């Protein structure tokens, strides 16, 4: 019983990784602008996240190879693997400052009167020391405990919001697309299914039993999904334009100081845990794709230099207050391509002889095709937004843009289905 409990706590690191400031912002905005109508998008993205995370862990455990090595061996293309690895690392690097500033936003709501640079230094310093002195396998347990506490704060805030249960159930199980909500829906999916999380889960699954990993992942991702849904519920309290400060003040006005403090702590926890997981995931990703990565221990400088770089650069941008816009745009474009590409690779690997009797069945393949379709749309939108930002034109997911992106996504799924059939015939 004790080992099962710590297994669940260990895998809460995945929830810690995808519940960052971006998730809180998107989910709270969804609640503020559309009330409970978009809860179904979080239910879908939570289930899709389980599908891809379980697949990456299963590949690593059954094959005995890192995810990067498994992709390299199957597709016989090291440049392809390096493109994935570097793109994910670039994403971790670009968003680290946002994670730190998100944590500071939570603390700023509590009005301690301490300069921002001091909080930035404390958050970056604690993250650095935790990763430096703790083993990679023990850090998730610490983060898991923080996620549990953060979740309690957000659940407390959500349960004190006046919600009509029939509206909640309708929003959860009846898909709706209110006018202007498409990008918010895709944002909810994009903040839940995160490329670096796939490598993070795979890296942490090495040497573990498939059954315990599977149960831990499902528990963690479901809890993370419920926490995101709680943020949507809390977001419905906002009157007028959404901002963290408006929501904080509204919660205090309607429900008292404890509610406001619960939300502020939840926002801080989301930023702080994501600061650590982004750095750890970046290092694990590079170790996974590097030809000699298997020989890097958690304490080796070759491994540490990557998470150190992410934290130090995030700290630099956090102190200066400068957003690395060009890097963020490049990361959005690269990660926009990576998510469907990585999902495609998982689809092929999960149907290959590499997994022996653990290959996908019909229902798992169907679930992965639906996930691939959603991630393809999301990825193409991110690439389009990045391109439009470069040329200085506003992007809109309507008209011709929408038609092209949906058509290309259908083509990606169709191509993948044929590749899976080919893969399974070869393995007979």
- In terms of residue numbers, what domain contains 134? 2-335
Q: Is residue 207 within 8 Å of 60, Cβ to Cβ?
A: no
Cβ atoms within 10 Å, residue 414: 11
pLDDT, position 403: 92
Average pLDDT over residues 147-163: 82
Instruction: Decide if 376 is inside a domain.
Output: no
pLDDT, position 399: 85
Phi/psi at 163 (5° precision): -125, 135
Q: How many domains does the chain have?
A: 1
* Residues 6 or more apart in contact with residue 92 via CB below 8 angstroms: 196, 278, 279, 281, 282, 285, 310
Instruction: Decide if 161 is inside a domain.
Output: yes
Instruction: Decide if 396 is inside a domain.
Output: no
pLDDT, position 348: 92
Instruction: Decide if 428 is inside a domain.
Output: no
Grade residue 53 by pLDDT with cuts at 50, 70 and 90.
very high
Grade residue 4 by pLDDT with cuts at 50, 70 and 90.
confident
Q: Is residue 271 within 8 Å of 20, Cβ to Cβ?
A: yes
Average pLDDT over residues 38-58: 94
Instruction: Decide if 413 is inside a domain.
Output: no
| pLDDT tens for each residue of 397-418 | 888 888 999 999 999 999 999 9
Who wins on pLDDT, 261 or 350? 350
Q: Which long-range contacts (CB under 8 A, 24 or more apart) does 123-127 make?
A: 123/271, 123/272, 123/275, 123/318, 124/100, 124/275, 124/311, 124/312, 124/314, 124/315, 124/318, 126/272, 127/272, 127/275, 127/276, 127/279, 127/311
pLDDT higher than 90, residue 264? no
pLDDT, position 219: 93
| pLDDT tens for each residue of 100-140 | 888 888 888 887 777 888 888 988 998 998 888 876 566 77
Grade residue 10 by pLDDT with cuts at 50, 70 and 90.
confident
pLDDT, position 413: 95
pLDDT, position 414: 96
Q: Is residue 15 within 8 Å of 227, Cβ to Cβ?
A: yes
Q: Is residue 337 within 8 Å of 379, Cβ to Cβ?
A: yes
> What share of the chain has pLDDT > 70, as a percent?
93
pLDDT, position 361: 86
* Residues 6 or more apart in contact with residue 37 via CB below 8 angstroms: 171, 176, 178, 181
Instruction: Decide if 258 is inside a domain.
Output: yes
pLDDT, position 329: 57
Rounded Cα–Cα distance for residues 286 and 307 (Å): 10
pLDDT higher than 90, residue 271? no
Q: What is the mean pLDDT of the chain?
A: 85
Who wins on pLDDT, 62 or 6? 62
pLDDT, position 141: 73
Average pLDDT over residues 151-164: 83
Rounded Cα–Cα distance for residues 344 and 289 (Å): 17
Instruction: Decide if 292 is inside a domain.
Output: yes
Question: 143: domain CATH number?
Answer: 1.20.1740.10
| pLDDT tens for each residue of 227-243 | 999 989 988 887 777 77
pLDDT, position 3: 74
Instruction: Decide if 422 is inside a domain.
Output: no
pLDDT higher than 70, residue 325? no
Average pLDDT over residues 290-305: 85
pLDDT, position 327: 57
Average pLDDT over residues 1-29: 81
Grade residue 324 by pLDDT with cuts at 50, 70 and 90.
low
Cβ atoms within 10 Å, residue 350: 26
Rounded Cα–Cα distance for residues 30 and 231 (Å): 9
| pLDDT tens for each residue of 331-346 | 556 666 788 889 999 9
Who wins on pLDDT, 263 or 342? 342
Grade residue 160 by pLDDT with cuts at 50, 70 and 90.
confident
Among 129-133, 215-219, 267-271, the range with the most confident prediction by mean pLDDT is 215-219
pLDDT, position 357: 77
Average pLDDT over residues 205-228: 91
pLDDT higher than 70, residue 326? no
pLDDT, position 173: 93
Average pLDDT over residues 384-400: 81
pLDDT, position 320: 79
């Amino acid at each position: 019983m004790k080992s099962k409990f710590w297994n669940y706590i260990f895998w809460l690191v995945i929830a810690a990784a995808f519940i960052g400031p971006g998730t809180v912002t998107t989910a709270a905005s969804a609640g503020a602008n559309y009330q409970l109508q978009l809860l179904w998008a979080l239910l879908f993205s939570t289930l899709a996240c389980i599908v891809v995370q379980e697949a990456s862990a299963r590949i690593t455990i059954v094959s005995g190879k890192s995810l990067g090595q498994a992709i390299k061996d199957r597709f016989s293309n090291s440049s392809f693997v390096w493109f994935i690895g570097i793109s994910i690392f670039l994403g971790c690097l670009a968003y680290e400052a946002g994670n730190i500033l998100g944590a500071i936003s939570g603390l700023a709501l509590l009005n301690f009167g301490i300069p921002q640079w001091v909080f930035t230094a404390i958050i970056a310093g604690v993250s650095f020391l935790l990763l430096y002195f703790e083993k990679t396998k023990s850090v998730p347990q610490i983060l898991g405990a923080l996620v549990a506490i953060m979740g309690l704060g957000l659940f407390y805030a959500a349960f004190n919001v006046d919600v009509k249960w029939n509206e909640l159930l309708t929003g959860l199980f009846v898909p709706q697309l209110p006018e202007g909500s498409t990008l918010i829906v895709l944002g909810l999916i994009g903040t839940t299914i995160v490329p670096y999380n796939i490598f993070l889960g795979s890296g942490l699954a090495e040497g573990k039993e498939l059954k315990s990993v599977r149960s831990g992942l499902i528990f963690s991702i479901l809890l993370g999904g419920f926490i995101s849904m709680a943020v949507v519920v809390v977001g419905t309290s906002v009157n007028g334009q959404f901002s963290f400060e408006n929501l904080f003040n509204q919660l205090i006005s309607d429900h008292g100081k404890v509610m406001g403090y619960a939300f502020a702590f939840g926002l801080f926890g989301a930023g702080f845990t994501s600061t650590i997981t982004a750095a750890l995931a970046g290092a694990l990703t590079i170790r996974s794709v590097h030809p000699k990565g298997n020989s890097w221990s958690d304490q080796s400088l070759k491994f540490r230099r990557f998470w150190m770089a992410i934290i130090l650069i995030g700290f630099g941008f956090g102190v200066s207050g400068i957003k690395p816009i060009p890097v963020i745009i490049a990361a959005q474009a690269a990660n926009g391509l990576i998510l469907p590409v990585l999902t495609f690779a998982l689809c092929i690997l999960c149907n290959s002889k590499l997994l022996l009797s653990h290959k996908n069945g019909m229902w798992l393949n169907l679930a992965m095709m639906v996930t691939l379709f959603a991630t393809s749309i999301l990825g193409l939108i991110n690439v389009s937004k990045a391109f439009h930002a470069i040329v200085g034109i506003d992007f809109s997911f309507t008209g011709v843009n929408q038609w092209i992106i949906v058509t290309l996504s259908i083509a990606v799924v169709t191509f993948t289905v044929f590749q899976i059939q080919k893969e399974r015939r070869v393995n007979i």
